[in-house]
Amino acid sequence: MGSEAKKIGRVASASDNHLLNEYFDAVRKAEKDIAEVQDWMDKEKPSVTEKQPSDIKKKKDIVGRMQLLMDLIPLIVQTDSSRIVTVMIQDHFVVPEIEGVVGNHHNLSHHGQDTTKIEQLRKVETKLLGCFGNLLSQMKSKREAGKSLLDSTSIQFGSNLGNANAHNTRNLPIFLAGGGFKHGQYLAQTENTPLSSLFVTMLNNMGLETESFGQSTGELSW
């Protein structure tokens, strides 16, 4: 704490000093975080032999655009460009270039139990899941520190809605891959199990000791 801050501290009340200490702690933490980020920015990154990908500008090609994003993830992780990658699938309210599909992804998800729309939705989401499968195959085929990139990376894929037709946020369809977890099984959690409890499990599994996250009720176990 600088001399000016000490002067203020001597004349401030106990409650004000408490607030001042919180403020100075926050400033020191921000300075430390900035220094750590700067160190990471200056750190030499691994090189790769992959060609620079070309953007897909056609919004109708949602499968191609998603696959392009999936192709980037192994490169991002391999080169230590980031330790966290988030991908949001957006349909841009266009009819995707998929045979037999005449509606956009969002509207098809509000199918109203129309079997024709449900069949089209199945075709769209099958293609998107195929992109996710390709990501897992790429992560499994790449090696790092004596194991696959998939083994050292936790990947979650899913939706924020269990039933998009009714905007129901329960019973979310969630895939978890990699990270050394026990896989190859379907687990049905209770309706009251918050998704954030899975985040606690994933963080602890990666060595980031965490007791809670959002509305979590503890770790999930299986």
5 domain-assigned:
yes
Would you say 107 and 40 are in contact if contact means Cβ atoms under 8 Å apart? no
Domain of 135, in residue numbers: 55-186
> Measured between alpha carbons, how far is 67 from 49 in angstroms, rounded to an integer?
19
Of 43 and 129, more confident: 129
> How many Cβ atoms are within 10 Å of 177's Cβ, its own excluded?
18
Task: Let me know whether 65 and 39 are in one domain.
Answer: no
192 domain-assigned:
no
* pTM for the structure as a whole: 0.76
Kindly indicate the confidence band of residue 104, based on its pLDDT and cuts at 50, 70 and 90.
very high
Task: Let me know whether 32 and 110 are in one domain.
Answer: no
- Please give the pLDDT value at position 190: 84
Would you say 129 and 98 are in contact if contact means Cβ atoms under 8 Å apart? no
Task: Let me know whether 92 and 171 are in one domain.
Answer: yes
- Please give the pLDDT value at position 1: 52
67 domain-assigned:
yes
- Please give the pLDDT value at position 85: 95
201 domain-assigned:
no
Domain count, the chain: 2
Average pLDDT over residues 138-161: 92
Task: Let me know whether 39 and 65 are in one domain.
Answer: no
Mean pLDDT over each residue of the chain, to the nearest integer: 89
208 domain-assigned:
no
Would you say 74 and 31 are in contact if contact means Cβ atoms under 8 Å apart? no
Average pLDDT over residues 27-40: 84
123 domain-assigned:
yes
Q: What is the pLDDT of residues 41-97, one digit of tens each?
A: 777 777 777 888 889 999 999 999 999 999 999 999 988 888 899 999 888 889 999
Task: Let me know whether 24 and 117 are in one domain.
Answer: no
Average pLDDT over residues 207-222: 91
Q: What is the pLDDT of residues 152-203, one digit of tens each?
A: 999 999 999 999 999 999 899 999 999 999 899 999 988 789 999 999 999 9
Task: Let me know whether 74 and 108 are in one domain.
Answer: yes
Task: Let me know whether 76 and 140 are in one domain.
Answer: yes
219 domain-assigned:
no
CA-CA distances (angstroms) from residue 6 to 3, 23, 37? 5, 14, 30
Distance, C-alpha 116 to centroid of its chain: 32
Task: Let me know whether 99 and 66 are in one domain.
Answer: yes
Task: Let me know whether 178 and 148 are in one domain.
Answer: yes
Task: Let me know whether 179 and 81 are in one domain.
Answer: yes
